[in-house]
Amino acid sequence: MAFANVEIERAGGIVTLWMNRPERRNAFNAELIAELTEALGEAEADHQSRVVVLAGRGASFCAGADLGWMKAYAEAEPEKNLDDARRLAALLRRLAELHKPAIARVHGAAIGGGMGLAAACDICVASTDAFFATSEVRIGLIPAVIGPYVLRAIGVRQASRYLLTGERIDTAAAQKLGLVHEIAAAEAIDAKIGEIAAALSQGGPEALASAKLLLREIAHRPLDDALSEDTARRIATIRAGAEAGEGISAFLERRPPGWRA
């Protein structure tokens, strides 16, 4: 399907979703949120792709919310305002819970919701000119919808500074915080993403999806009998499956597994 605000590019097992509002620095509005949510569904259903990359056209990755859109919904009926906020929350959750690995390709500004998108992806690769901020408090808002993903990425203690101050975070600081995994020069960012995508493509599709679910569901759980039983059941279930059988056989037979072919 063709979208007005999102371009879908497919190459070598990678689906790249380009946010395409460069004149607004890819700031969110209702149309971009709806189209990006639908595009993520298309990427999920594309059996030829193994990795999803989220990127932005123009000078920035995503400069947060379009303030005209925000103002319109702030003045709307309460239920309409709430429904709009729910759609943004659903987009971030859809991104975070993709079965396929998701990589954020960040350049320029990743502010507010843009930082939330970067945090919701599994891996973040940023160019040296990128910067991040949760600056909502500076215009009388709070980073509520993006909060869970930012906290997951950088932890409560660091988030307590940046969510309250709205300071800019350069790529070096973002990497120290744990938000950014790799930094690359602008001309080298796609090559770096290609390297990571190639590494991700070595894994079995079902194993990658199950590993993502494992990360979400065991984080911060106590090391108790229930967790031990849960993890034992997970490995027992997956190693009895066809994908694990193919992977183990391929390793023993010194050949690539079927999903790599």
Catalytic, out of 35, 79, 97, 136: 136
Residues β-bridged to residue 56: 19
What lies within 8 Å, CB to CB, of 115 at 6+ separation is 64, 132, 133, 134, 146, 150, 179
Q: Which two tokens stand for residue 41?
A: 């569904």
Asked if CATH classification 3.90.226.10 holds for the domain at 6-200, the reply, yes or no, is yes
| CA gap 109, 131 in Å, rounded | 5
User: Is 257 strand, coil or helix?
Assistant: coil
In tens digits, the chain (261 residues) has pLDDT values of 789 999 999 998 999 999 999 999 999 999 999 999 999 999 999 999 999 999 999 999 999 989 888 888 888 899 999 999 999 999 999 999 999 999 999 999 999 999 999 999 999 999 999 999 999 999 999 999 999 999 999 999 999 999 999 999 999 999 999 999 999 999 999 999 999 999 999 999 999 999 999 999 999 899 999 999 999 999 999 999 999 999 999 999 999 999 986
Give the helix/strand (H/E) hosting 176.
helix 171-177
What global pTM score does this model have?
A: 0.96
Q: Nearest to residue 209, comparing CAs of 99, 111, 81, 109?
A: 99
CB distance 11 to 46 below 8 Å: no
Q: How far apart are the first and last CA of the chain?
A: 28
Active site residue 136: yes
Domain map of the chain by residue range?
6-200, 205-252
Q: Which two tokens stand for residue 116?
A: 């939330």
Let me know the angle formed at the C-alpha of 67 by 123 and 141, rounded to the nearest 5 degrees: 75
- Residue that is written with structure tokens 């925000």 in the block: 70
